[in-house]
């Protein structure tokens, strides 16, 4: 364990070896950012406005550069990959769990994403158990919870005036061994258990997500998609704050004497996301796009990667300007499935 | 569904980094000049070699199978996916036939031999050659969608394995004679006796002595046998929609009919989340799908 008042000193020490990324206040918003000094770190918080996925998958990044010679473009050059040893500190368990899916997308399958890989391999994750879930939190719908250890290297738990520090992975254990922290005593363990119980008690009722993929498989033609998406503005905010959303665009930018190819976050909520140059659009309306968002996260990803594309962090619910609630969408999926099943029986 | 060793020949360590190509030849394929073929050569000969996504080199050089596609880069404008129109039996160049439609293709159409563009590939799966062996092949194409079908036909005729396939029937239709692509190839194939060529146009014009009629109707007239046959159909959605019932009437099962899908793409390697049909990515699990596979997917294309 480590006394909370000594955390700053420990972080200072670690910052000699690692770039520290932690929650900081920035222009009125709490976000994960590189820290210049440990005083900036905020740990007394619910959750950040945006997920920490930008640590491995930045909102924009240059993938390569090309040079212009006379009036022709030549030679693409790769850019140096980011291999700075990094400590991603203070993420919530829902966010730590989100990295599992991103790893499958960017590192698994047939091709390896070198930009993601460089950052991911050189980052140690230290998560902070969530002692105050919000009304919009539904991590427990995924057989998870505010003290889940999935996806992290080290878990910190609030023990009153200390944090209990627990190694979860081998890399976490290595780092911990080097810190020579005192073992947690009985009193603090009891306190930590109390705090955990209080956190769990705050979680509201929610239906488990498991099994929803089978329901969705039958609802492609359902009228519910037009219904649930009616108030959606297609602003895309949900996809930007989401820890699991990973769709991206690739664009070329012309600069003096050449240019660069840039990857940036994109959103399936935008009308032109799937529009062909011919003008044909397989998803021509917001209902079709909401169907894709829901199916991708709750049917296609479970089938392809055995993981949902949602961790229940609730950021989309909080950030949506029209308060479109994905929990309500899932509820509507269940009732539509029940209606369809009943119709089959009576028909 | 890949049966041959798929070449994952993209850049050794970085599957987003194109190889530098030089344009050798540009040819108008249609009389309205909206469709051009570009023959490309590798600027760095060693790029023609094959690297797996994990960086291991292996031969043969830049090896692809008919049905695959590449992402072509116009530096400064962007990238777009194009089916490979050449056959791997054609050495020294890789051909792409491109219709002028948007930003990337418009810029590409303005380029000349000697200009550089980038190439990533080969990507995607391919026509099911193993499944096709020992069977009659029916190739049905409409308009601009004939590009990878050319790759397939040249391969079937030139790979030295012609005797491993049965009768080859090609039905190719376009609106007008001037919109039929690959005129030299079509003429050469017509002259051969190991392939039956059926060309058709929508409406009769003076000087046209071959068939007249939409591809679905002509297919019904030609009535290729479904017994021990595989059909590969590529064309505009409306052509496919009306050709499929004809194939069913002729006795073709869904497992015997293949097509190639298209979708807006960016990464081409299954990461950017854009080109999926249901839980399948057109760039990774496709673009070639059987009708049986498509029947399992939502009709979102």
Spatial contact of A154 and A165, defined as CB atoms under 8 Å apart: yes
In sequence order, what are the residues at sequence separation of 6 or more whose Cβ sits closer than 8 angstroms to the Cβ of residue A69? none
CA–CA dist B155, A82 (Å, integer): 44
Same domain, B133 and B256: yes
Question: B299 in a domain, yes or no?
Answer: no
Report the half-sphere exposure of A172 (CA within 13 A, side-chain side): 18
Same domain, B37 and B52: yes
pTM: 0.92
Which residue out of A252, A265, A298, A300 would a mutagenesis test of the B interface target, given it has the greatest number of B Cβ atoms within 10 Å? A252
Rounded mean pLDDT of chain B? 90
- pLDDT for residue A230 is more than 80: yes
CB spacing of A299 vs B273 below 8 angstroms: no
Q: A270-322 pLDDT, tens per residue?
A: 999 999 998 999 999 999 999 999 999 999 999 999 999 999 999 999 999 99
Token representation of residue A98: 């989100």
Residue B72, helix vs strand vs coil:
strand
pLDDT class of A341 with cuts at 50, 70, 90: confident
In sequence order, what are the residues at sequence separation of 6 or more whose Cβ sits closer than 8 angstroms to the Cβ of residue B13? A114, B55
User: Nearest CA to A239 among A57, A21, A116, A33?
Assistant: A57
Q: A62-107 pLDDT, tens per residue?
A: 999 988 766 565 667 788 999 999 999 999 999 999 999 999 999 9
What distance in Å separates residue B41's CA from the closest CA in chain A?
A: 14
What does the pLDDT read at residue A70?
60
Same domain, B149 and B114: no
Question: Does the CB of A303 have a partner CB in chain B at under 8 Å?
Answer: yes
Rounded mean pLDDT of chain A? 94
Same domain, B102 and B166: no
- pLDDT for residue B222 is more than 60: yes
Question: B225 in a domain, yes or no?
Answer: yes
Same domain, B42 and B135: no
Same domain, B174 and B211: yes
Question: Does the CB of A283 have a partner CB in chain B at under 8 Å?
Answer: yes
B211 membership: H or E segment, kind and range: strand B211-212
Q: A160-199 pLDDT, tens per residue?
A: 999 999 999 999 999 999 998 999 999 999 999 999 999 9
Indicate the domain borders of chain A.
2-49+81-202, 212-346
- pLDDT for residue B59 is more than 50: no
List alpha helices for B159-297, DSSP H: 183-191, 215-222, 237-250, 291-295
What distance in Å separates residue A18's CA from the closest CA in chain B?
A: 26
User: Nearest CA to A119 among A156, A80, A151?
Assistant: A80
* Higher-confidence position of B8 and B112: B112
* Higher-confidence position of B218 and B57: B218
Stretch B58-64: mean pLDDT, rounded? 61
Q: B192-205 pLDDT, tens per residue?
A: 999 999 999 999 99
Residues of B with CB under 8 A from a CB of A: 8, 10, 13-18, 20, 53-54, 73-80, 101-102, 105, 115-116, 118, 262-264, 266-267, 269-279, 284, 298, 300-301
Instruction: Please give the tally of structural domains in chain B.
Output: 2
Same domain, B116 and B134: no
Question: B61 in a domain, yes or no?
Answer: yes
CB spacing of A282 vs B301 below 8 angstroms: yes
Q: Which of B106, B123, B140 is the last residue of a domain?
A: B123
From chain B, the residues in CB contact with A303 under 8 A are 279
What distance in Å separates residue A294's CA from the closest CA in chain B?
A: 11
A156 membership: H or E segment, kind and range: strand A154-158
CA–CA dist A38, A24 (Å, integer): 10
Same domain, B111 and B197: no
In sequence order, what are the residues at sequence separation of 6 or more whose Cβ sits closer than 8 angstroms to the Cβ of residue A289? A229, A234, A268, A269, A271, A273, A283
- Secondary structure letter of residue B236 according to DSSP: -
Residue-number span of the structural domain to which B221 is assigned: 129-260
Question: Does the CB of A300 have a partner CB in chain B at under 8 Å?
Answer: yes
């Amino acid at each position: 364990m480590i006394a909370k008042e000594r955390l700053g000193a420990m972080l200072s020490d670690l910052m000699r070896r690692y770039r520290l990324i932690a929650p900081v206040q920035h222009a009125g918003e709490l976000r994960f950012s590189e820290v210049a000094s440990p005083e900036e770190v905020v740990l007394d918080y619910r959750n950040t406005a945006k997920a920490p996925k930008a640590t491995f998958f930045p909102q924009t990044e240059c993938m390569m550069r090309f040079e212009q010679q006379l009036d022709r473009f030549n030679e693409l050059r790769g850019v140096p990959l980011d291999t700075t040893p990094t400590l991603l500190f203070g993420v919530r368990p829902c966010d730590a769990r989100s990295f599992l899916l991103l790893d499958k997308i960017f590192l698994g399958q047939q091709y390896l994403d070198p930009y993601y890989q460089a950052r991911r391999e050189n980052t140690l994750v230290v998560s902070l158990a969530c002692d105050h879930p919000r009304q919009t939190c539904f991590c427990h719908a995924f057989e998870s919870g505010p003290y889940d250890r999935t996806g992290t290297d080290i878990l910190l738990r609030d023990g009153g005036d200390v944090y209990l520090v627990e190694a979860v992975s081998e890399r976490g254990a290595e780092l911990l061994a080097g810190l020579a922290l005192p073992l947690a005593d009985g009193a603090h363990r009891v306190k930590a258990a109390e705090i955990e119980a209080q956190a769990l008690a705050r979680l509201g009722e929610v239906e488990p997500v498991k099994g929803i993929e089978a329901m969705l498989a039958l609802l492609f033609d359902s009228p519910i998609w037009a219904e649930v998406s009616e108030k959606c503005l297609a602003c895309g905010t949900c996809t930007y704050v989401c820890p699991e959303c990973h769709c991206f665009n690739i664009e070329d930018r012309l600069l003096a004497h050449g240019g660069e190819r840039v990857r940036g976050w994109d959103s399936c909520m935008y009308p032109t996301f799937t529009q062909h140059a011919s003008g044909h659009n397989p998803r021509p309306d917001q209902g079709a796009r909401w169907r894709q968002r829901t199916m991708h996260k709750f049917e296609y990803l479970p089938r392809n990667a055995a993981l949902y594309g949602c961790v229940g962090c609730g950021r989309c619910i909080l950030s949506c300007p029209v308060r479109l609630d994905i929990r309500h969408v899932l509820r509507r999926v269940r009732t539509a499935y029940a209606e369809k099943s009943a119709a089959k029986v009576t028909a | 569904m890949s049966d041959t060793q798929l070449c994952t020949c993209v850049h050794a360590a970085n599957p987003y980094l194109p190889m530098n190509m030089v344009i050798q030849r540009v040819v108008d394929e249609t009389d309205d000049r909206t469709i051009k073929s570009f023959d490309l050569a590798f600027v760095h000969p060693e790029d023609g070699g094959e690297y797996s996504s994990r960086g291991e080199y292996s031969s043969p050089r830049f090896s692809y199978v008919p049905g695959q596609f590449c992402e072509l880069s116009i530096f400064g404008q962007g990238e777009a996916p194009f089916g490979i129109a050449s056959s791997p039996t054609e050495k020294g160049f890789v051909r792409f036939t491109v219709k002028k439609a948007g930003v990337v293709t418009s810029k590409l159409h303005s380029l000349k031999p000697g200009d550089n563009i980038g190439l990533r590939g080969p990507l995607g799966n391919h026509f099911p050659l193993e499944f096709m062996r020992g069977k009659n092949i029916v190739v049905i194409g409409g308009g601009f969608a004939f590009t990878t079908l050319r790759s397939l036909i040249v391969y079937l005729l030139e790979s030295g394995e012609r005797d491993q396939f049965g009768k080859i029937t090609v039905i190719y239709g376009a609106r007008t004679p001037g919109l039929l692509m690959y005129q030299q190839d079509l003429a050469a194939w017509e002259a051969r006796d190991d392939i039956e060529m059926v060309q058709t146009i929508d409406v009769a014009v003076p000087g046209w002595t071959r068939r007249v009629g939409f591809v679905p109707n002509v297919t019904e007239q030609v009535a290729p046998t479904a017994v021990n046959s595989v059909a590969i159909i590529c064309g505009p959605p409306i052509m496919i929609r009306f050709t499929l019932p004809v194939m069913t009437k002729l006795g073709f099962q869904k497992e015997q009919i293949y097509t190639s899908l298209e979708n807006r793409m960016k990464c081409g390697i299954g990461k950017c989340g854009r080109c999926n049909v249901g839980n399948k990515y057109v760039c990774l699990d496709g673009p070639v799908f059987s009708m049986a596979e498509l029947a399992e997917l939502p009709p979102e294309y």
